[in-house]
């Protein structure tokens, strides 16, 4: 009985989150002509630290239970913001790569094709990870999600450099 109630509550939370994500996606303001201008800086090392199981384990051993849960929820909320930014950047880079796929230069077209594949993958990882982070906020003593988003984003960043797309490498760039 408790498992059924838990599953219903978790399903409702995931549904609400997906509806919010969809509403945010369709309600966004008109983008400038060049999607690359909208790309925001993402500090992948800081993100990795937020979802590092070893870091969470260290905090768990150093802090009282209630304080650990409070801090861990804040860390996971920050991780959600990173993942949202990564997902938005992936969507923007997908637009850039789609345009570059039709290049007459074979190397550029091939790099763009790889970027399209990776941007789609990173976008899916981000959409999958956000609900998992919210569940981890509800149950902060459980394990943290994987780092597939960070790995995919780093690979995507290397690919956009091959295309010559200018992206912010620092916070206020």
For the chain, the domains span 1-30, 35-163
| Phi, psi dihedrals of residue 61, rounded to the nearest 5° | -80, -25
Three-class SS state of 40 = coil
pTM listed for this prediction: 0.69
Query: What is the spatial distance between Cα 94 and Cα 112, in angstroms, rounded to a whole number?
Result: 9
Tokens 């690359």 sit on residue: 36
CA 46 to chain centre: 13
Average pLDDT across the chain, whole number: 78
pLDDT in tens, 28-65: 555 456 666 677 888 888 888 888 888 888 988 999 98
149, 83 in Cβ contact below 8 A? yes
* pLDDT above 70 as % of the chain: 79
Average pLDDT over residues 118-129: 86
pLDDT of residue 172: 46
Average pLDDT over residues 138-155: 73
pLDDT of residue 162: 66
pLDDT in tens, 9-29: 878 888 887 777 767 655 555
Query: Highest mean pLDDT: which of 56-60, 144-148, 149-153?
Result: 56-60
pLDDT of residue 173: 41
pLDDT in tens, 81-96: 988 988 888 888 888 8
Q: Which two tokens stand for residue 148?
A: 């597939």
Pairs from 156-161 (Cβ < 8 Å, separation ≥ 24): 156/90, 156/93, 156/115, 156/118, 156/119, 156/122, 159/111, 159/114, 159/115, 159/118, 160/93, 160/96, 160/115
Average pLDDT over residues 63-79: 89
Question: Which is higher by pLDDT, 173 or 114?
Answer: 114
- Tell me the torsion sign for CA atoms 73, 121, 23, 33: positive
29, 88 in Cβ contact below 8 A? no
Q: Which two tokens stand for residue 75?
A: 């860390």
């Amino acid at each position: 009985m408790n498992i059924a109630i838990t599953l219903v509550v978790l399903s409702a939370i995931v549904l609400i989150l997906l509806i919010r994500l969809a509403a945010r996606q369709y309600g966004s303001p008109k983008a400038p002509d060049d999607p690359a201008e909208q790309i925001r800086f993402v500090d992948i090392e800081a993100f990795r630290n937020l979802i590092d199981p070893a870091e969470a384990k260290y905090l768990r051993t150093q802090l009282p239970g209630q304080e650990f849960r409070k801090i861990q929820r804040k860390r996971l909320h920050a991780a959600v913001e990173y993942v949202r930014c990564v997902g938005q950047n992936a969507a923007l880079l997908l637009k850039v790569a789609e345009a570059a796929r039709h290049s007459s230069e074979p190397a550029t077209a091939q790099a763009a094709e790889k970027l399209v594949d990776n941007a789609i993958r990173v976008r899916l990882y981000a959409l999958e990870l956000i609900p998992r982070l919210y569940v981890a906020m509800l149950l902060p003593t459980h394990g943290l999600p994987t780092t597939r988003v960070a790995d995919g984003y780093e690979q995507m960043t290397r690919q956009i450099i091959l295309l010559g797309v200018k992206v912010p490498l620092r916070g206020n760039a």
